[in-house]
Amino acid sequence: MRKLQLFLEKHAFGVCTKLGEKLGVATSSIRLFFIYLSFLTFGSPIIIYMCLAFVMNLRKYMRQKRNTIWY
């Protein structure tokens, strides 16, 4: 089960993990917050999650591009 969780965190954007690291909160708490909030607000946090994932991947791409220029 742990291998599956690590695989999903690595390949499924890692938004909750990154937020947990930055805020100092457990990742499982943030995931539960997103799940419960999605049920209460009929899915609108999913849009926020996708936007955060897009920004994270864009930053990752820009960092990779920047590093290859200087070498």
Q: What is the pLDDT of residues 1-56, one digit of tens each?
A: 788 777 766 666 678 888 888 889 998 888 888 888 888 888 788 788 888 888 88
Query: What domain range includes position 13?
Result: 2-70
pLDDT of residue 59: 79
Tally the domains of the chain. Answer: 1
Cβ atoms of residues 49 and 34 within 8 Å: yes
pLDDT for the residue numbered 13: 65
Q: What whole-number distance in Å separates Cα of residue 22 and Cα of residue 37?
A: 20
- Cα separation, 11 vs 33, in Å, equals 21
- The better pLDDT of the pair 2, 71 is held by 2
Q: How far is CA 47 from the centre of its chain?
A: 12
- The structure's pTM equals 0.57
Residue with tokens 């390949």: 11
User: What pLDDT score was predicted for residue 66?
Assistant: 60
